[in-house]
Amino acid sequence: MRQLVAILAVAALTGCGVETATTAATGASIKKQEVEEGKRTQERAGQRIEQMQDQLQQRAQQDADK
């Protein structure tokens, strides 16, 4: 009987460990996706800033030509 209780306890604890590892892996995957999305957002913002700078330079050149 003691062996059965010990085996069940070990099985229960092992199951918790697997669940914890799975949860950690899922959390890491989500964080990775968030980081990648942040990089894409930063890249798009950089492109928009460059476009705005180009427009400002063009307007400044047009004003200087007048």
Tens-digit pLDDT profile for residues 12-29: 666 566 566 677 778 888
pTM for the whole structure = 0.57
Q: What is the DSSP-derived secondary structure letter of residue 40?
A: H
User: Longest Cα pair distance anywhere in the chain, in angstroms?
Assistant: 98
Token pair belonging to 20:
């914890």
Q: Quick one: pLDDT at residue 11?
A: 64
